[in-house]
A and B are shown apart, each in its own frame.
Chain A
Amino acid sequence: KQEVTQIPAALSVPEGENLVLNCSFTDSAIYNLQWFRQDPGKGLTSLLLIQSSQREQTSGRLNASLDKSSGRSTLYIAASQPGDSATYLCAVRVRGLSFGAGTTVTVRA
């Protein structure tokens, strides 16, 4: 059974600092990996999708890497802003999406 783990569970940084969020998964036979943002009581906003054949994907201040063989992905958010405060979820697609528990980020102004 696919297990997805996200470390750390929570992170608090001052505005302007770069964020590094980690995701690991136990079964490397995935179609893809997707990063989402979830605001309290809200839905999931897709941030980046990395196909299993890709190593990296970038969108604006966001960059995600994927090392399928070691079962790891990292989401980098450059120059964090208070508006980046949210829970970030990693999900891998095998049979449906398997989600991690998320990293809750607080960016202090």
Chain B
Amino acid sequence: EPEVTQTPSHQVTQMGQEVILRCVPISNHLYFYWYRQILGQKVEFLVSFYNNEISEKSEIFDDQFSVERPDGSNFTLKIRSTKLEDSAMYFCASSEAISTEAFFGQGTRLTVV
């Protein structure tokens, strides 16, 4: 069964460093998303991406974040200068259309030290 895959599963980085989280969405899906879940808190929407541009973003998605689809299969989230409070599980998701079922990856646990 097709699935969303994310790498790495766990990343540890020093405060102030740049990190790139990688995702391979389901191949026939057109909409891609990033969410995050700080330990013990709700899952929060960060950004959605369609037709090679951001279609929606939340207040959390500020200038330190960026997304890119560098080729036909990968979808990345870059955090430019990480802070301690960026420590969270980051989930990538994809869907065929804007109102169809969203499928999530297993997540990347980012730890900023």
User: Within the complex, which residue of B33, B43, B101, B106 is in contact with A89, where a contact is CB–CB below 8 Å?
Assistant: B43
Measuring CB to CB, which residues of chain B are less than 8 angstroms from any residue of chain A?
33, 35, 41-48, 56, 58, 91, 93, 98-107
A58 to chain B, nearest CB (A): 15
How many A residues have CB within 8 A of the partner chain? 22
Residue in A closest to B43 when the chains form the complex, CB atoms = A99
A100 CA to B98 CA in the complex, in Å?
20
**Given A44-B91, A96-B58, A101-B42, 10 new contacts (CB under 8 A):** A42-B106, A43-B105, A46-B102, A46-B103, A46-B104, A49-B101, A51-B99, A95-B56, A97-B33, A97-B102
User: Within the complex, which residue of B41, B45, B105, B106 is in contact with A97, where a contact is CB–CB below 8 Å?
Assistant: B45
User: Within the complex, which residue of B46, B91, B99 is in contact with A31, where a contact is CB–CB below 8 Å?
Assistant: B99
